[in-house]
Chains A and B, each alone.
Chain A
Amino acid sequence: MKAYVLRRLVSLLLVLLGMTVVTFVISHVIPADPARAAAGMFASAEAVEAIRQEMGLDRPLYVQYWNYMRSLLHGDLGRSILTREPVLDDLLRRLPASLELAVAGMCISLPLGLLIGVVCSQRPGGLTDVLARGVAVLGVATPAFWLAQIMQLVFYSVLGWFPAAGRIATGCAPPPAVTGLYVVDAALTGNLAALGSALRHLILPAVTVGLGSAAVIARMTRSSMMEVLKQEFVRTARAKGLAERVVVYRHALRNALIPVITVAGMQFSGLIAWLVLVEVIFAWPGLGSYAARSVLALDFPAIMGFTLLTSTIYVVVNLAVDLVYAFIDPRIRY
């Protein structure tokens, strides 16, 4: 097990190194003129030249990469062209908002997806199964940035149940920062007004990101459960006279969870990518809306910093999921 963890950590480092090469190529090699992009469309030739020298773009590529890596290792992701602040500071300030949304999304998608998947697997081809699978496909096929607008239309505009945008009501002071997650902080400090407001603001965006993932998790749970339900130990459990509920939830589901956990892990990290679109619509002050603004302004240090940070979260979460297997399934010993 130790050797496996070590091997995976080394391969993680290699992948992270490779990712820096990819982000370097995207930010320094693909753009026809990164200095022009940084200076803006209307900058004079002299200003562009000055930026070229300041950014070190007049040096050979390997020197540029070396400097890029040296800065990265010092936690320097560059300075945002848009906010004029260090990119790392910008990202860290906005990370808790995105994390809160992603975690809330998973809190909706995981139980919902598991429940739908298990129910569907009971009678494959039955009416419930057909309907639920149809809904799951629609969940996968519906663009999050459109679903977000429909949510606003129905629950804000028509029913008036939830606010349309933001993280907390304008008149409500955010809770003192403990974790940076408003709902958690408000609960920890006993600030009920902030807790209510933060929850009401969180529900619509969380349901939007959660529904898409729930559909993916439901599809995976269903096929995994159907595989497991065919196995002999399930037949034995039924033959012993165990209640169907015990067979399904105690015996089959535990065994069906392994592929589901992989998908759930990927969904969690994938959620951060889709947050770019959802946060824009709900004016959620997280990493996603920051990235969307940076993209429009061609703010390369910010775009690359965001891509590198979220991709690092993505690979680390996926590695963590792999390592969790050994604890879930005693058959797996590396």
Chain B
Amino acid sequence: MAPGGRERPVPGAGRRLLLRLRNNAGACLGAGMLAVALATAALHPWLMPYDPIAVDLDATFQAPGAAHPFGTDSLGRDVLSRVMAGAPISLRVAGMAVAVGLGLGGPLGLFAGLRGGLADEAVMRLADIVLAFPSFLLAMAITAAMGVGLEKAIFAVGFCFWPRYARLVRGQVLVIREEPYVEAARAMGAGTLRISLRHVLPNCLAPVLVQATMDSGFAILATAGLSFLGLGASPPTPEWGAMIAEYRQYLVSQWWMPVFPGLALSWLTAGFVFLGDGLRDILDPRLRAGGGL
């Protein structure tokens, strides 16, 4: 009861989460950093001062200045415009890689948890084997086998995520299926599919959200790493990892060329890590580290 005697309406789960996020400095910082990246990605066609792939041989190697705040590259392309054009690519990388990992691992974890027995054992041992590889190396080998390309690199990185989601969802299923409300639903005749969709999946959302936020940062770094090795995006695509690789030879004489794409990459990844930490503090009280930032 509120002090005034009137009942205050109980906010919904989403609103409660937002209210708690507001009190977590790290999460606010992360959300702010991601908001800048999202706004850049959404508005880049209007924000970019120049065409990111237009060659201007009269303006090569210009140091940062009024006309080109981030300078220009060896082909006279504006580095600021290229960094801005890279924002939607990296956000797409994060979204797609997590979608692949969750899309494969979520149903497998659900299946393993609900069926138990041999199916559970098989899925979990398979997950153990994939987890036995360092993720970046496995992604590198898969991309090399599938052939060079950004989409293939994203798939390979996302594929390495599936065991984490399978374990996470299975763990939640094992806890939730013993809950009285699930037993009650089963007693009322609800089938496996209904129980999964109505009761199990909503309860998996919180840990999956934390994991997905953290993985988004790793996906961006790993895919940029693959592009750096020449396995992901290739020039003239303004993907940040590919740009760092392309500009590497100019590091000593034209430092601005590799420095700004790297800063952008760190900005976006740090945004996901700050937000992921904050979400974990809020949604998983066992791991709550306190302090906010």
Residues of chain A having any CB pair with chain B under 8 Å: 14-15, 18-19, 21-23, 26-27, 30-32, 124-125, 129-130, 133-134, 137-138, 140-147, 149-150, 152-153, 157, 222-223, 226, 269-270, 272-274, 276-277, 280-281, 291-292, 295-296, 298, 300, 303-304, 306-307, 310-311, 314-315
The answer to whether B132 and A141 have CB atoms under 8 Å apart is no
Check A26/B141 contact, CB under 8 A, given A138-B270, A146-B265, A153-B252: yes
Q: A211–B125 Cα gap in the complex (Å)?
A: 33
The closest CB in chain B to the CB of A12 belongs to B132
Q: A144–B218 Cα gap in the complex (Å)?
A: 12
Q: A143–B291 Cα gap in the complex (Å)?
A: 26
Which residues of the partner chain B approach A134 to less than 8 Å between Cβ atoms? Answer: 293
Which residues of the partner chain A approach B57 to less than 8 Å between Cβ atoms? Answer: none
Check A149/B248 contact, CB under 8 A, given A15-B129, A130-B293, A277-B228: yes
The closest CB in chain B to the CB of A15 belongs to B132
Most A CB within 10 A of own CB, among B137, B251, B266:
B137
Q: A138–B29 Cα gap in the complex (Å)?
A: 13
The answer to whether B132 and A314 have CB atoms under 8 Å apart is yes
Q: A270–B133 Cα gap in the complex (Å)?
A: 9
B287 within 8 A of A: yes
6 contacts between A and B (CB under 8 A): A31-B147, A142-B262, A143-B266, A295-B144, A307-B137, A310-B137
Which residues of the partner chain A approach B265 to less than 8 Å between Cβ atoms? Answer: 143, 146
Partner of A145, one of B26, B244, B252: B244
Interface of chain B: mostly helix, strand, loop or mixed: helix
Check A311/B244 contact, CB under 8 A, given A143-B225, A304-B141: no
B224 within 8 A of A: yes
Q: A15–B287 Cα gap in the complex (Å)?
A: 29
Check A269/B134 contact, CB under 8 A, given A31-B145, A138-B266, A143-B221: yes
Number of cross-chain contacts by CB at 8 Å: 160
The answer to whether A149 and B277 have CB atoms under 8 Å apart is no
Which residues of the partner chain B approach A274 to less than 8 Å between Cβ atoms? Answer: 136
B103 within 8 A of A: no
B67 within 8 A of A: no
Which residues of the partner chain A approach B224 to less than 8 Å between Cβ atoms? Answer: 143
The closest CB in chain A to the CB of B276 belongs to A137
Which residues of the partner chain A approach B258 to less than 8 Å between Cβ atoms? Answer: 146, 149
Which residues of the partner chain A approach B262 to less than 8 Å between Cβ atoms? Answer: 142-143, 146-147, 149-150
B229 within 8 A of A: yes
Q: A147–B229 Cα gap in the complex (Å)?
A: 15
Which residues of the partner chain A approach B137 to less than 8 Å between Cβ atoms? Answer: 273, 276, 291, 306-307, 310-311
The answer to whether B229 and A292 have CB atoms under 8 Å apart is yes
Which residues of the partner chain B approach A153 to less than 8 Å between Cβ atoms? Answer: 251-252, 255, 259
The answer to whether A145 and B228 have CB atoms under 8 Å apart is yes
CB proximity of B155 to chain A, nearest CB, Å: 11
- 8 closest residue pairs by CB, A with B: A18-B129, A146-B262, A273-B134, A141-B269, A141-B270, A30-B145, A125-B291, A124-B291
Which residues of the partner chain B approach A26 to less than 8 Å between Cβ atoms? Answer: 141-142, 145
Most B CB within 10 A of own CB, among A19, A23, A307:
A307
The answer to whether B134 and A272 have CB atoms under 8 Å apart is yes
B83 within 8 A of A: no
Which residues of the partner chain B approach A150 to less than 8 Å between Cβ atoms? Answer: 259, 262
Check A30/B146 contact, CB under 8 A, given A130-B293, A141-B266: yes
The answer to whether A276 and B132 have CB atoms under 8 Å apart is no
Q: A224–B45 Cα gap in the complex (Å)?
A: 46
Which residues of the partner chain A approach B273 to less than 8 Å between Cβ atoms? Answer: 137, 140-141
Which residues of the partner chain A approach B230 to less than 8 Å between Cβ atoms? Answer: 295-296
Partner of B140, one of A129, A147, A295: A295
Which residues of the partner chain B approach A291 to less than 8 Å between Cβ atoms? Answer: 137, 140
Most A CB within 10 A of own CB, among B228, B231, B259:
B228
Check A280/B229 contact, CB under 8 A, given A138-B270, A303-B141: yes
Scan B204-230; emit 1 where CB is below 8 A from any A CB, else 0.
000000000000010001001100111
The closest CB in chain A to the CB of B225 belongs to A277
Which residues of the partner chain B approach A295 to less than 8 Å between Cβ atoms? Answer: 140, 144, 229-231
Which residues of the partner chain A approach B136 to less than 8 Å between Cβ atoms? Answer: 273-274, 276
The answer to whether B251 and A157 have CB atoms under 8 Å apart is yes
The answer to whether A19 and B132 have CB atoms under 8 Å apart is yes
Q: A300–B255 Cα gap in the complex (Å)?
A: 35
The closest CB in chain A to the CB of B265 belongs to A143
